[in-house]
Amino acid sequence: MSYFDSKLPVLDLEMLATLRSLDEDKGFFLNELIELYRLDSPVIFENLLKAHAEASVKHVVFYAHRLKGMSSNLGILRFYRLLESIEKSYTQLSPRELLEMEDLLRQEYELALAQLVQDWCIQNLAS
């Protein structure tokens, strides 16, 4: 899909390292952010999919923007860029792109969450 760059890394490692350094690399602070994201983002994500299913441009743009902000602050790079593309050019997407959008969103969201938890959560780093 032209609006999605699959070559981008899933996570911005530099940004995540900066966030982890904010509590002297103990990782508790980053863990707290990841937990907040895991808690807050599913509702917004589902709202985005619902808005897309209903073809409500206003709501798609709004939820994409909101999820983009949260994702960008946590270094969830590829998903954030995908949301940015959707926010900017949702109305210009082809019927095929629109049809494939839900699957692409799910795939990227789940991949980002899995990598985030696996590589950056304290409990996994310790093991």
Partner 1 sequence: METNSRYTVTLDDDSTVPKIIAQVTGIPSHAFQNGDALLKKAESLDPVAFFLDIHLDTHTNGLDLLPELRRRWPFHPILVVTGDPKDELIGQALAMGANDFIRKPINPTELIGRMHARVLEMAARKKIDVLEIGDICFSPSQATITKNGKITYLPKLETQLFAILIEQRDMISSREELKQRLWGRIAVSENTLDRKISDIRKALSEIGSTCVIQSHYRKGISLSFGNIDKKIS
Q: C-beta of 14: minimal distance to partner 1 in Å?
A: 11
Cβ nearer to partner 1, comparing 12 with 97 = 12
Give 61 or 104: the residue with its C-beta nearer to partner 1. 61
State which residue, 36 or 114, has the beta carbon closest to partner 1.
Answer: 36
Nearest approach in angstroms of CB 36 to partner 1 is 5
Buried b (16+ CB within 10 A) or exposed e, 6-23: eeeebbbeeebeebbeee
CB of 100 to partner 1, least distance (A): 24
Least distance to partner 1 from the beta carbon of 32, Å?
7
**Radius of gyration of the chain, Cα coordinates, nearest whole angstrom:** 15
Name the helix (H) or strand (E) containing 46.
helix 28-53
Question: Which residues of the shown chain bind partner 1 in the complex (CB under 8 A)?
Answer: 12, 15, 18-19, 22-23, 29, 32-33, 36-37, 40, 58-59, 62, 65-66, 68-70, 72-75, 80, 84, 88
Torsion of Cα atoms, 82 then 83 then 89 then 92, to 10°: 70
Burial 44-67 (b: 16+ CB within 10 A, else e): bbebbbebbeeeeeeebbbbbbbb
For residue 48, give the nearest of 109, 93, 5 by alpha carbon. 109
Comparison of 40 and 110: residue with beta carbon closer to partner 1: 40
